[in-house]
Amino acid sequence: MFDYLIVGAGFSGAVLAERLASVLNKKVLIVDKRNHIGGNAYDCYNESGILIHKYGPHWFHTNDDNVFRYLSQFTEWIYHYHIVKTFVDGRLLPIPINMDTINGLYGMNLSSPEEVNKFYDSVKVNVGVPKNSEEMVISQVGVDLYNKFFRGYTLKQWEIDPKDLAASVTARIPTRTNRDERYFTDKYQGIPKQGYTNLFQRMLNHKNITIALQTDYKGLVDSVKFDKMIYTGPIDSFFDNVHGKLPYRSLIFEHETLPMEYYQGYQQVNYPNEFDFTRIVEWKHATKQKSHLTTITREYSVLATDEMEKYYPIPMESNHELFKKYQAEAESLKSVIFCGRLADYKYYNMDQVVARALAIFRNKITGKGE
Ligand code: FAD
Ligand code: UDP
């Protein structure tokens, strides 16, 4: 007999399992259909002994003191600014676009934020309030930079014209007037010192928590006794797709280990135009691991089929409308709590998922509010 059945051992499920067990002394069964904990943040050592993120690069960053303090109970950190370059016109240039991007691309010599702003003013397109991902970018940096840095990458990643994609997607990438080359400017950034999987092991290491892997909840929901359920899988699957399937993007990862210390100069290089892949990640830059070998991972984006892992909800109006039908069903079920990137159908980062799980614990479970 369990107090809670939690479906999914990613950040959403693990945070709630940990809080329920250690704060409220509840008995929790957490199940995942994969053969490991950690959800999409899972990392592991490959056959060459290199630590890789199995489901693509997970660069932790947050401004939320609470989230950082909470996670720091279970890990120390490798503090590290995430740096991403993009391959445009045969050169590696900074993304987010900054002063060096403009100077490098156009052979200019801008040297102050005022001059960079003046440049943006001369190229940006007045669209009013940006209504989609294309307008979001051209209203800041104009059409040429949009075509070179955003259009091709976005088409590869989403297979949707940026005109049809929510403005929030490209709004994730800021525009800079200075030389700051960090991908994120958050107060805390880095990766867990012993890896994400170790962080999850420490969160879930509690006598009240039972973990069942390679277990689809649908196969045991009738045979296990529990009071309440927390569901962090795809919301449409929970309701057997009664309103139609929500679309998700999946990814194909091509991992390659090479007999050299480093393959590229940076942890991540984006390829907006040439090649079918979107980006190449080289893990050792972030993990600081020492080895005479290196592993790189190329990422290809595809529409998720039923057999594939679902990684990204697709932020566009029609999908949001369909999601709202499932959300209404979800709200009518009093003994099931839905949360997470797939259950909320929201393009959350890890820190947002942790913050949401902590808020659900406070507001919906303990009833103690903020
Ligand atoms: P998930 O991690 O998806 O966990 C849900 C779990 O539920 C899965 O393990 C799944 O197997 C399980 N499940 C589903 N259905 C069932 C079922 N029927 N029965 C049993 N188990 C089930 N965030 C950042 O902050 N920084 C980054 O750099 C970053 N990079 C990312 C890169 C990629 C390629 C992707 C895909 C995501 C990235 N994210 C990043 C986002 C981050 O992965 C998510 O915010 C976070 O992992 C979501 O946690 P979750 O628990 O909601 O979902
Ligand atoms: N993007 C782009 N070019 C880039 C980086 C990002 O066009 O070099 C756009 C693209 O639409 C992408 C979105 O911005 O899907 C968000 O980028 P982010 O790096 O946050 O993607 P994630 O790491 O979540 O896949």
Question: Tens digits of per-residue pLDDT, 50-95?
Answer: 999 999 999 999 999 999 999 999 999 999 999 999 999 999 999 9
Cα–Cα distance, 215 to 221 (Å, whole number) = 10
Give 128's contacts (C-beta < 8 A, 6+ positions apart): none
Ligand 1 atom nearest the C-alpha of 216 is 19
318 with 356, same domain? yes
Are 40 and 56 in contact by the 8 Å Cβ rule? The answer is: yes
Question: Which of 107, 141, 171 is where one domain is finished?
Answer: 171
Single out the residue of 221, 219, 196, 201 nearest to residue 211, CA to CA: 201
The closest alpha carbon to 351, from 5, 126, 66, 124, belongs to 66
Say whether both 96 and 204 belong to one domain.
no
pLDDT computed for residue 369 by the predictor: 62
Query: Does residue 120 lie within any of the structural domains?
Result: yes
CA of 107 to the centre of ligand 1 (A): 41
Token reading at 181: 């080359």
Are both 34 and 72 inside the same structural domain? yes
State the Rg of the chain over Cα: 22
In degrees rounded to 5, what are phi and psi of residue 108?
Answer: -95, 180
Q: Running DSSP on this structure, what letter comes out for residue 165? A: S
Domain presence at residue 337: yes
Where do the H-state alpha helices sit in 171-313?
A: 196-204, 217-220, 235-238, 284-287
Residues 332 and 353 in one domain: yes
What is the domain count for the chain?
Answer: 2
pLDDT at residue 367, rounded to an integer: 83
Range of the domain at 360: 2-80+192-246+313-366
Q: Are residues 67 and 97 in the same domain?
A: no
Angstrom distance (rounded) from CA 154 to CA 204: 37
> In the sheet that 226-231 helps form, which strands lie side by side, from edge to edge?
209-212, 28-31, 2-7, 226-231, 336-338
The reply to whether 108 falls in a domain is: yes
Q: Is residue 187 part of a domain?
A: no
Please name the residue whose Cα sits nearest to atom 48 of ligand 1. 341
Cβ-based burial of 318 (10 A; exposed 0-12, middle 13-18, buried ≥19): exposed
18 shares a domain with 75: yes
Give CA–CA dist 12/240, Å, rounded: 22
155 plus 88 within the same structural domain: yes
Q: How far apart are CA 179 and CA 177, in angstroms?
A: 7
Q: Is 55 in the pocket of ligand 2 (CB under 6 A)?
A: no
In a domain, 206, yes or no: yes
- Our answer on whether the CB atom of 349 is closer than 6 Å to any ligand 1 atom is yes
Measure 147 CA to ligand 2 centroid, in angstroms. 14
pTM of the model: 0.97
278 lines ligand 2 (CB under 6 A): no
The CA 348 to ligand 1 mean position distance, Å, reads 9
For tokens 């566009």, name the residue. Answer: 316
Question: Within this chain, do residues 235 and 320 fall inside the same structural domain, yes or no?
Answer: yes
42 CA → ligand 1 middle, Å: 9
Question: Do 157 and 232 belong together in one domain?
Answer: no
Domain contains 234: yes
Q: Which amino acid is at 105?
A: L
Looking at the structure, do residues 109 and 126 belong to the same domain, yes or no? yes
Please check whether residue 336 lies inside any domain of the structure. yes
Q: Are residues 76 and 89 in the same domain?
A: no
Does residue 70 share a domain with residue 89?
no
Alpha-carbon torsion 302, 303, 309, 314, what sign? positive
- Which residues of the chain are under the pLDDT cut of 70? 369-370
Q: Which two tokens stand for residue 5?
A: 């059945």
